[in-house]
Chains A and B, each alone.
Chain A
């Protein structure tokens, strides 16, 4: 019944889902080991949310199969719902209820009993530093507080598997760090987590294993280091002086290059892919200095989702969702 370390907790095989002509998922295979964090990384509209909705029994797949904690997401949906928690980018809190009432309601719906639900609500408010706000209507909460309350709601029944759909999208940096710490804490307690994110940095920090998803397909999979090694490591970016010799600069920096792509010069900016290591900035400055080439700025740029995407697909990972477009048009 209870699965141990190394066992597969989430498994999908050839998962497919279409909305009309749009193939949201086009044959997705995933395998997530017990007690690990799996990051599903991709731009808006890549199919991340659809995947989570299928795994949390909200949506039936058109084809393929998926099992969570050994339970089929379609056939065993009812039992599965007692084993999973879901928190998402749309913090699912009832704004007209207090924080306490929100959590208590969820406890009652899990049939934890009146006393059990109240006790669990208090525990979670405490844990997520919402005790002081517990008797306030959630309408008055900040974005970060709502997100914490939403996550607390997902944890009411102590689910062994937790799904987080873009848990930090739209949060300020401080709230984001807080959310990361809480997720790490949960994983430390043995929870298996599948999270979706648009931020490489977030997957990098939290996930043991990452699958990059685009147009409903997994286009790369591995640990964060493996992905970066394969698809875009660190880049040294040098901005040359106005009159500097650009070819000379490229020649001087070329020996440093160590990565999947060649050094390139765009305007006054030279980009040199390097493996992550200390001293590359100093090295670049020294080389240009020796070649007597003037520079204005130098920095080490960490790879972004765009870099990974560019090297994987040849296109940049920007595909605003319909909501974002609507919002942009409205404003």
Chain B
């Protein structure tokens, strides 16, 4: 055998080359995760159809009965549904990670001299792209049912950046959850069970002032979804806010800062069986 044709693998030395290798590994994994999107379209479609149905349902069925001061219901609704669907979209990350665990791919990756964090980072980065796909579809549907931006281009871009960050945060959260469960279905359930009530008991679909106590207090003072939805609504249609934007940013960054290391830590220890 001519062993000289391929270089023997080495490991990086020093923090700089380790970081460079980690980034390279992250890109390889991100590319791999994106390649599967067109080959497994049902997964992404599933996560896009549901929010589209929600848009139609709330715009045309419930919307007429909901009073929103100072703004039309469709303008009120769309930022809320965008935040909700981006949070649910994070589940895609968890499902992918559970699949890798089940199929033994995680063992393969862990037996390679690659950066430990790259397997998760690559996937969460790739899922930013799939989240954008979802965003575009939602905005198109929103436009068709009458949603219009009423702010500057800069504010709209800032809004899109905020939703992206929230999506990234939920990808890490979902990655962390996924490594604690055994099946893909469980990974899905583990997120839905608390995301569903959390997104509804917020300012996403109705003004929280109309809710009874203690839901009202929870929605206005505690639930970070209200912060994100209020901020996005402000950046897209110009509704007034106080400090929701900064608090919302802190929440989203906080989730990344807490759950990214936790997820990587869990990944290092997790065993397929």
Contacts and interface: CB of A to CB of B under 8 A. Distances in A.
Tell me whether A and B are bound partners.
yes
A105 B111 contact: no
B251 to A, nearest CB: 33
Contacts of B21: 111
A256 to B, nearest CB: 46
Interface stretch (B28-36, B140-148, B237-245): B28-36
B103 A53 contact: no
Interface string A111-146: 111001001100100000000000001010000000
Interface string B1-39: 101011111110000000001001100100110011001
A95 to B, nearest CB: 7
B104 interface: yes
B111 A158 contact: no
Given A82-B9, A137-B39, A158-B3, A92 B105 contact: yes
A112 B6 CA distance: 7
B114 interface: yes
Contacts of B35: 96-97, 101
A157 B112 CA distance: 10
Interface string B173-217: 000000000000000000000000000000000000000000000
Interface stretch (A55-63, A235-243, A276-284): A55-63
B104 A82 contact: no
A189 B6 CA distance: 16
B70 interface: no
B64 to A, nearest CB: 43
A110 B11 CA distance: 9
B142 to A, nearest CB: 31
A78 interface: yes
Interface string A276-310: 00000000000000000000000000000000000
A58 B8 CA distance: 22
A112 B3 CA distance: 13
B112 A81 contact: yes
A328 interface: no
Contacts of B273: 49
Contacts of A116: 6-7
B104 A105 contact: no
Interface stretch (A83-91, A170-178, A197-205, A259-267): A83-91
B270 to A, nearest CB: 10
Interface in B94-139: 103-105, 107-114
Contacts of A49: 273
Nearest to B18: A78
A278 B39 CA distance: 57
A188 B111 CA distance: 24
A112 B21 CA distance: 12
B258 interface: no
B271 interface: yes
Contacts of A84: 111
Contacts of A105: 28, 31-32
A59 B109 CA distance: 13
Nearest to A321: B273
Nearest to A113: B7
B181 to A, nearest CB: 16
Contact of B104 (A59, A88, A157): A88
Nearest to A322: B273
A82 B8 contact: yes
Contacts of B113: 78-79, 81-82, 109-110
Contacts of A86: 107-108, 111
Contacts of B272: 90
Nearest to B100: A94
Interface of B: 1, 3, 5-11, 21, 24-25, 28, 31-32, 35-36, 39-40, 103-105, 107-114, 271-273
Given A105-B32, A116-B7, 8 more contacts: A53-B271, A88-B107, A90-B103, A109-B109, A111-B10, A120-B6, A157-B6, A157-B8
23 contacts: A58-B110, A58-B271, A78-B113, A81-B11, A82-B10, A88-B107, A90-B103, A92-B105, A94-B36, A96-B39, A97-B36, A105-B32, A108-B24, A108-B28, A109-B28, A109-B109, A109-B112, A110-B114, A116-B6, A123-B5, A137-B39, A153-B108, A158-B8
